Amino acid sequence: MKDLKYTSITDEMDCKRDKTEIKIGDIIVGKDFCVIAGPCSVEAQEQILKAALAVKKAGANILRGGAYKPRTSPYSFQGLGKVGLKYLYDAGKQAGLPIITEVVDTRDVYLVAEYADVLQIGARNAQNFSLLTEVGRAGKPVLLKRGMNSTIEEWLNCAEYILEQGNPKVILCERGIRTYETYTRNTLDLSAVAAVKNLSHLPVFVDPSHATGRREMIRPMSLSAIIAGCDGLEIEVHPDPKTALSDAEQQLLPGQFEALMEDVRMTLEFRDRLKK
């Protein structure tokens, strides 16, 4: 992978680069373990506020919520757009959490960047090169999902598009790839986490929600991802998942998320002991 100019762990002289560290809210991503949590979609002011307060109480570091939803069907809920951005922004302020939300269109990058602390590029747009260039120019931290059909090399090249614009604040996120398996929504490729940690200086997150599509698998996959070496997790949490307008099957209840956060802390302690 010698064409990786900016994302490679070594520079042109073959010297090891420092790990990328990105200050977001109270934490430094790449140094401190980071948990992003919140609903799949922002559906209503009360829903996102409830979610924000619950995930903050459980110890999450960043609030998520989609205002622009890239849906497989044009007839599914497409998100609240600008109104959703405002609800998410207010909920983040009230809970004391920075916010992340997806941007799906180059025309919305600067609007979304006015509200969001972190811009998310979703799996369906992972190789939308004009969008990658535009979020590179916007200068805000970017969480870049792996495309569902992207190889590790293709994924890192997507990150190159952002870094090439002079924006070094990129977080990679493994969210499962498409395989012949249909029981799970995607196949979580934890080997990619270990691979990318060796290839690149960028922080690597794991999204077990979209990777599995199954609520009961979020806990085991989150804990396994920590052992695989990830720098953070992105987990969908909804105050009442059965009423969710998108991804109802994979969103945790606040109580389940709180219990998971206990296990996350214990697993991180165990991982720290392994390193010593």
- HSE-up of residue 19 (Cα within 13 Å, Cβ side): 14
When the beta carbons of 117 and 234 are compared against Mn ion, the nearer one is: 234
User: Shortest CA distance to 231 belongs to which of 205, 211, 207, 208?
Assistant: 205
Residue 201: name its binding partner from ligand PEP, Mn ion, none (Cβ under 5 to 8 Å by kind): none
When the beta carbons of 175 and 197 are compared against ligand PEP, the nearer one is: 175
Q: Least separation, in Å, of the C-beta of 114 and ligand PEP?
A: 20
- Contact present, 79 and 36 (Cβ < 8 Å): no
When the beta carbons of 8 and 205 are compared against ligand PEP, the nearer one is: 205
- Contact present, 35 and 61 (Cβ < 8 Å): yes
Chain residues binding ligand PEP by CB under 6 A are 40, 66, 70, 102, 122-124, 145, 175, 207, 210
Q: Least separation, in Å, of the C-beta of 39 and Mn ion?
A: 8
Draw the binding track, 225-254, toward Mn ion (x: CB under 5 A; -: no contact): ----------------------x-------
Draw the binding track, 38-77, toward Mn ion (x: CB under 5 A; -: no contact): --x-------------------------------------
Burial code (b: 16+ CB inside 10 Å, e: under 16) for 106-134 equals: eebbebbbebbbbbbbbbebbbbeebbbb
- Paired sense of beta strands 27-29 and 22-24, if any: antiparallel
Residue 134: name its binding partner from ligand PEP, Mn ion, none (Cβ under 5 to 8 Å by kind): none
When the beta carbons of 124 and 137 are compared against ligand PEP, the nearer one is: 124
**CB closest to ligand PEP, residue no:** 122
Q: Least separation, in Å, of the C-beta of 37 and ligand PEP?
A: 11
Burial code (b: 16+ CB inside 10 Å, e: under 16) for 184-221 equals: ebbbbbbebbebbbebbbbbbbbbbbbbbbebebbbeb
When the beta carbons of 140 and 210 are compared against Mn ion, the nearer one is: 210
Pull the structure tokens for residue 266: 């214990």
Pull the structure tokens for residue 220: 């085991």
Enumerate residues 6+ apart whose C-beta is below 8 A from 18. 201
Q: Least separation, in Å, of the C-beta of 103 and ligand PEP?
A: 11
Q: Least separation, in Å, of the C-beta of 119 and ligand PEP?
A: 12
- Contact present, 260 and 252 (Cβ < 8 Å): yes
Residue 117: name its binding partner from Mn ion, ligand PEP, none (Cβ under 5 to 8 Å by kind): none
- The binding site for Mn ion (CB under 5 A) comprises 40, 247
